[in-house]
Amino acid sequence: MPLHVALLRRSVTDLAERAHRCWHCRRTPLIGERIYLYAASAGERMLCELCRPMRREAPSRSRIVHSIEEGATVRIRRGPGAGSCT
């Protein structure tokens, strides 16, 4: 197998292993989707928006799924106090 194919396959496998999946349907939530976290004896269980109605109890917390690049991008500040180049 060529080196570039092996590296690509390895990176995709690494990303898939780190991805959070819904405890019920095993689907990976999309960026911008709300996920719901439930306390469990073995840690937290995460449910996607589609599976949330299947649980009677309220989640312990919820959050929005962000991109991997979140926080690693440059933000352009405009307006007062944004600084200027002189």
Write down the domain spans for the chain.
21-69
Q: What percent of the chain has pLDDT over 70?
A: 69
Taking residues 60-75, report their average pLDDT.
73
Taking residues 50-71, report their average pLDDT.
86
Judge if pTM exceeds 0.75: no
34 forms bridges with which residues in the sheet?
64
Angle at 75 between CA 71 and CA 78, to 5 degrees: 150
The CA distance from 63 to 54, in Å, is 18
Task: Quickly tell me which residue has 């959070």 as its tokens.
Answer: 20
The CA distance from 73 to 64, in Å, is 18
9, 15, 20, 23: CA torsion to nearest 10:
10
31-56: pLDDT as tens digits? 899 999 999 887 889 999 999 999 99
